[in-house]
Amino acid sequence: MSGISILIVGLFLPLFPLSMIFNELFSRFTSAKLRIALLIVWPQVGIILAYLFEVNIPDWVITWALFTALLYAFRGLTLREIGLWTSFIATSSWAILWVVLDSDTTFSQLMFYTLGLSLPLCLLVLLCGELEKQFGAAYTGLYNGLAESLPRFSGVLVFVILAVVATPLFPGFTVMLTAIFSTSASSIITGVTISIVWLFWTWAGARLLQDLIVGTPKENGKVDLSLNTTWAYTAALGLLIVGGIYSIGGLS
């Protein structure tokens, strides 16, 4: 893979500082639909291009990708704006795909893994829109105690965040295991770095949840998700779990 092709793929499977372009675009798109489209299409383009350019990834690119993943996971720890949090975690998780790209994973598996990483983020974008509708902004620390004032919303949010931070049975878990298993035997540092990225995701996710759902609600009279919408989210999460279980079977 030539330097130019790496740079092109590095735009879509973000490598810092090219990653700033995706984050800039994501923040400019205020519509949920556009954000979802971006989250689904952007990394898939990266995967397709990587295959078109016949991937043979040098070690320094893996190091670069890991640095990007670590950088954005670390920066995600203190973010309070949920939209920005989503794009940072997206950047961090897609950068990990470089490692998976370098393993024995097939093209279709990789497309599936990428989708598995993007879909929970899409659900988070929808929830973010719901918060903006209710409170005017999707920002942690401004309001809390959602578990009490919006129980259905909080329940869905918890599961979506768990899916985003690659909790077992969600597809992200398989991606992380694939990345760690394919590298830990050749470079323990790579394995440890990916693990630290994963740890930061959990940390960032827990902070986000705590700042939103815990506490006594400041405002009452907010409208919770309808039963039908809740079931729709549940179905989506259920599908993600089925996909996760299916993908674990493909681990090798």
Partner 1 sequence: MEMLILLLPLLPLFSAALNHVSYKQAGHKAAKTSVAFGVINFILAVALLAMVMGGDKTSQVALFDSWGILIADPLSVLMALLISGISLIVRIYSIKYMIEEAGYGRFFMLLDLMTATLLLMVTAGDLISLLVAWHLVGVLLYFLLGFDSRSHTAYRYAFWTLITYRVGDIALVLAAGLLFHAYGTWSLSEIFAAVTENPGAHQYFGFVLEELVGFLLAIAAFARSAQFFLHTWLPYTMDGPTPVSALMHAGIVNAGGFLINRFSPIFIQTESTLHLLFIVGLVTAIIGSVLMLTQNDIKKALGYSTMGQMGFMIMECGLGAFSLAIYHLIAHGLFKGTLFLGAGTVINKARKHDGVPQDDLYTFVVERQSAQQRQPWLMMVGITLAVPIIILFLAHWLVAQNFFQNQGAIVLLFFGWITGAQLLFTTYRMHTQNIWRLIGIIILSFTVIVLGYAFISHAFDLFLYPDAAFREQIYAAAGIDIFWFNVLVLLTTAIIVASWVLIYYSEQNHMSEQKKITQWWIRFYALISREFYIIDFYSWLTRTIFKAATRLNVLLRWR
Question: How many residues in the shown chain lie near partner 1 by CB under 8 A?
Answer: 46
- Helix (H), strand (E), coil (C) string for the chain: CCHHHHHHHHHHCCCCCCHHHHHHHHHHCCCHHHHHHHHHHHHHHHHHHHHHCCCCCCHHHHHHHHHHHHHHHHHHHHCCEHHHHHHHHHHHHHHHHHHHHCCCCCHHHHHHHHHHHHHHHHHHHHHHHHHHHHHCCCEECCECCHHHHCHHHHHHHHHHHHHHCCCCCCHHHHHHHHHHHHHHCCCHHHHHHHHHHHHHHHHHHHHHHHHHHCCCCCCCCCCCCCHHHHHHHHHHHHHHHHHHHHHHCCCC
Taking contact as CB under 8 A, which single stretch among the options 47-55, 74-82, 125-133, 134-142 is the one that binds partner 1? 74-82
**Region of 58-66, 103-111, 134-142, 182-190 interacting with partner 1 (CB under 8 A):** 182-190
CB-nearer residue toward partner 1: 87 or 134: 87
The answer to whether residue 180 forms part of the interface with partner 1 (CB under 8 A) is yes
Residues 207-236 that bind partner 1 (CB under 8 A): 210, 213-216
Per-residue contact string for residues 128-167; x = within reach of partner 1 by CB under 8 A? -----------------x-xx-----x---x---x----x
Q: What does the binding site for partner 1 look like in residue numbers (CB under 8 A)?
A: 20, 23-24, 27, 71, 74-79, 84, 145, 147-148, 154, 158, 162, 167-169, 173, 177, 180-181, 184-185, 188, 191-192, 195-196, 198-199, 202-203, 206, 210, 213-216, 245, 248-249, 251
